[in-house]
Amino acid sequence: MFRIGFGYDAHRLVEGRPLILGGVGIPHTLGLLGHSDADVLTHAVMDALIGALGMGDIGRHFPDTDPAYKGADSLSMLRRVIEWVKRDGFGVNNVDATIVAEGPKLASYLPAMRKKLARVLDAPSNKINIKATTTEGMGFCGRQEGIAAYAMISLIGV
């Protein structure tokens, strides 16, 4: 048994919010606006997992209209999703994710993100790949209006 899922998320950058990516707090003058902690990387991974299971999308299971998720820690929500993965007889084969942000520079934070996600996904960290890129000043990410993330996931039967 083998499944593949794709996830995407984007949030606006604003003042007065923390910047959290992959469960890691990153010092920056701006943070991501959202109902939960707005962790776009974790949300993209969740969306990819939910898609691989054929269960719709993140908004269906964690709606921004539900007060239970106001300010929620995205890693906690990811723990629920990985329970569904295991319930359906799967495990994470690998993750390949990309964060799109003009700033701040993220390279030094990627190992910590990888470690946190691997722990929650119950997968070896060498199965989790996280990259960061810019858009060379183009689009909403390039103008530093927001940050986006993409994730591809493969699941295998266990």
pLDDT tens digits, one per residue of 37-63: 999 999 999 999 999 999 999 999 999
Closest CA to 103 of 8, 18, 28, 24: 28
Q: Distance (Å, rounded) from C-alpha 31 to C-alpha 28?
A: 7
Angle at 117 between CA 76 and CA 154, to 5 degrees: 105
Model pTM score: 0.97
Rg (CA), the chain: 15
How confident is the model over 85-133, as pLDDT tens digits? Answer: 999 999 999 999 999 999 999 999 999 999 999 999 999 999 999 999 9
**Domains along the sequence of the chain with CATH:** 2-157 (3.30.1330.50)
